[in-house]
Chains A and B, each alone.
Chain A
């Protein structure tokens, strides 16, 4: 994995983060919101190789830690998404099976988003962050997953295409 690719993908993630913060966050989704950034990051992690999943999990987490509306300690999302990146990297072959079917991949992205939000809550509880009631948070995660299933097909092809554009010719082969 080249340094240029790390830089390009980080820029891509930051642009998605800006879209999330400036546009998606403005929409009042019923019950709870939708995180375009998390869903897109889960797609990117699934398409990366083992070390790519780890590196972009960490970078993606650091970017999310910069969110002005976040109240969590800096590094919490980085830790959570590095763990998620690790889970991706050790299950690379199994994830490959999901990539064959678009619907299964959609379900997988939704599940991974829910899992990362759940791990964030668990790590937050361990660090003493007050994130509200358990039932409210479970509902929030559930609804977020539903939105992910509904909205991800709209941007999934774009993410895949842009990611391909960012790869060098050798990496594409």
Chain B
């Protein structure tokens, strides 16, 4: 009896393994079952995702809020006073205000760069089980979005469109270890490649080992042919640390992005590249220093 059961289990195991390998083989041989099925699931999930996004948007950042609890306490006191003030002005939806502000800055960036964009809300983030850092946005092919389009946010580059359904799209984030973008250093015009490292910082590999690079240098996207996947001139990040190694073929540096990807809630997909390369025009300018000159005047004596 036990032997019969064992044989049945073995047969079942072989059957299931063969089925799994069959699916993998079909997929790798180009019979693209996966994209069809995933696209159908994404289309089915899309309305629910939008609803979940509305309901659970304050939940998303609760862990980072916990980590910054001490800072938060002081902030809470300051904000309580501010809230009292705002209540009197009937400003009720902070989340909406933040999104409007992000959208305003984003459209300003797109306008200055001459990019034709479609604005979108982030409705979901990639699952931990996929080893991919992605976000889902609420625009898709119906809005003119196609695969390999640049995605920007308030400040600069966010990622690239990886797959599209009729009313949603999945964006591969800059922080994903498989993400790579060609960049140019503002000023020196040195070129390099930025790769995601899974976290908040990115790795810059300068193609010219003798090229000049220093902390504080700003980077913009070089752009691809016909603006796909990357349009030129999009601000990418700022160099924070330069690794000096004379024997290395390339020079490496750590870069922090202009966009805090963890907190981004509004993005824009660049659906048409600019007519001319905006070059360095989109790099955030440092706030001008105001110098007050006071000339002492003698007090008139009585």
Q: Which positions in A face B, CB cutoff 8 Å?
A: 18, 20-30, 32-35, 37-38, 50-51, 54-55, 57-58, 61-62, 64-79, 82-83, 85-86, 89, 117, 120-121, 124, 127, 130-133, 136-137, 139-140, 144
Contact = CB atoms under 8 A, between A and B. Distances in A.
Interface in B197-218: 197-198
Nearest to B23: A75
A28 B60 contact: yes
Contacts of B136: 68-69
A78 B59 CA distance: 31
Nearest to A131: B131
A112 to B, nearest CB: 13
A127 B24 contact: yes
13 contacts: A21-B124, A22-B48, A22-B49, A25-B127, A27-B59, A28-B60, A35-B127, A54-B16, A57-B16, A68-B41, A69-B136, A70-B34, A74-B37
Nearest to A33: B128
B63 A30 contact: yes
Instruction: List 9 A-B pairs, minimum CB-CB distance, nearest first.
Output: A132-B177, A75-B23, A33-B128, A74-B34, A68-B42, A79-B20, A73-B27, A69-B126, A75-B24
A136 B177 CA distance: 9
A85 B62 CA distance: 34
Contacts of A73: 23-24, 27-28, 34
Contact of A82 (B16, B26, B131): B16
A122 to B, nearest CB: 12
Contacts of A124: 131
Interface in B5-33: 5, 8-9, 12-13, 16-17, 19-24, 26-28, 33
Contacts, number: 180
A71 B134 CA distance: 10
Question: For this complex, into which size category does the number of interface residues on chain B fall?
Answer: 35 or more
A34 B34 CA distance: 24
A27 B63 contact: yes
B13 to A, nearest CB: 6
Contacts of B162: 71
A28 B56 CA distance: 12
A130 B177 CA distance: 9
Contact of B198 (A70, A117, A127, A132): A132
Nearest to A74: B34
B56 to A, nearest CB: 5
